[in-house]
Amino acid sequence: MINKETYRNFCQGNKSIPVFMQDWWLDAVCGEDWGVIIVEQNNKIIAALPYYIHKKYCFKSIIPPHLTPIGGVWLWYEEGMHQTSRYAYEMQLMGHIAKEIDKLKLDFYFQKFNHTITNWLGFYWNGFKQTTYYTYRVLGLEDIEQVYNLFHRKTKRIIRLAEEELEVTEDISLEEFYRINSLTFNRQEIETPYSESFFIKLASTCKERNACKLLAAKDKTGRIHAVLMIVFNEDVCYSIVSGADPSLRNSGATTLLNWHAIKFAHHSGMKEYDFTGSMIEPIEKFFRHFGAVQTPYFIIEKHYSKLYSLLRSIKK
């Protein structure tokens, strides 16, 4: 509890901590079920790892909460730090945090690290494993014409046609947004991973902090073709929730919404637009066609329980 209160105070006004690792975000997606490992030096926090504790049956694990694409370690760096010193500093802090994770008596640990973390040796030397995933990021938003020029010609064409038939609006209720979002899962015969109440709580919290927008693409009859939720801070705009009406999937609405979101990020002075994924082949292609830069990030995990690992492999 002391660590949580210390971390809460630390988050206040600290722009270097990604939005998904802020205390208010963790409150919204985890409730009371989150904690944090912090490392202090000279009464200053130099490293932190917030985490969500998931308990099911007799198992205790750290996993990403719903709609939270970034987690893991946050590190403070001294300005002008030499590269050799930087590597040693990272490995020392991550090794310390890895040992602190081991003390939590988990059955399983799994977190998605920010793409800015490129050195995980401190975890490797403590028995953790790493898998490389990719996200796609649209960079250089200060020059929106150049951003558009990098789009694939097919994406440009879809945008032009969609603009003739659809309009982008923020006039949509949270309940209607969730309904459209759920249609994407229904089409795949998959249960929506999060409840309507969970989504409404998160979206409401973000709206109160002016940290998100909910966008919808409607046609001239008022039908909603697709929806998109973006979350942002001063520098980065993230796409985290989308969905489309399966009967209207060919209208180009999702492409139009992302273009609208990219322009919003540009006009707001943000530096980049992060699609927060994806490793799914058709979705990867969709993101790549926005001229986005493929960016690796790490999945760090550790199995503590053979029984949990067996049950997890069976579920897959």
What CA–CA distances, in Å, run from 64 to 108, 144, 174, 224? 12, 33, 23, 30
Whether residue 127 sits in one domain with residue 11: yes
60 within a domain of the structure (yes/no): yes
Whether residue 259 sits in one domain with residue 195: yes
83-111 pLDDT, tens digit each: 999 999 999 999 999 999 999 999 999 99
Whether residue 145 sits in one domain with residue 126: no
Asked if 140 and 146 count as a contact pair (C-beta separation under 8 A), the reply is: yes
Asked if 257 and 242 count as a contact pair (C-beta separation under 8 A), the reply is: yes
Whether residue 145 sits in one domain with residue 129: no
Q: Average pLDDT over the chain, rounded to whole?
A: 96
Whether residue 89 sits in one domain with residue 51: yes
Band (pLDDT 50/70/90 cuts) for residue 309 is confident
Asked if 178 and 202 count as a contact pair (C-beta separation under 8 A), the reply is: no
68 within a domain of the structure (yes/no): yes
Q: 277: phi > 0 → left, psi -120 to 50 → alpha, else beta; which?
A: left
Band (pLDDT 50/70/90 cuts) for residue 316 is low
Whether residue 153 sits in one domain with residue 263: yes
Our CA dihedral for 275, 185, 113, 230, rounded to 10 degrees, sits at 40
260-301 pLDDT, tens digit each: 999 999 999 999 999 998 999 999 999 999 999 999 999 999
Range of the domain at 234: 141-270
What DSSP string runs through 234-262?
Answer: SSEEEEEEEEE-GGGGGG-HHHHHHHHHH
163-210 pLDDT, tens digit each: 999 999 999 999 999 999 999 999 999 999 999 999 999 999 999 999
Whether residue 198 sits in one domain with residue 85: no
218 within a domain of the structure (yes/no): yes
Average pLDDT over residues 49-77: 97
Across 142-154, b (16+ Cβ under 10 Å) vs e yields eeeeebbeebeee
Among residues 270, 289, 306, the one where a domain terminates is 270
- Kindly state the tokens that stand for 241: 């929730």
Q: How many domains does the chain have?
A: 2
Whether residue 127 sits in one domain with residue 10: yes
275 within a domain of the structure (yes/no): no
pLDDT at 314: 84
Whether residue 165 sits in one domain with residue 50: no
Among residues 234, 251, 270, the one where a domain terminates is 270
- Domain of 213, CATH number, reads 3.40.630.30
30 within a domain of the structure (yes/no): yes
| Residue 42 CA to its chain's centroid (Å) | 32
Which residues neighbour 165 within 8 Å (Cβ) at sequence distance 6 or greater? 219, 220, 251
Whether residue 228 sits in one domain with residue 152: yes
Whether residue 118 sits in one domain with residue 152: no
pLDDT at 1: 60
pTM: 0.95
Whether residue 185 sits in one domain with residue 112: no
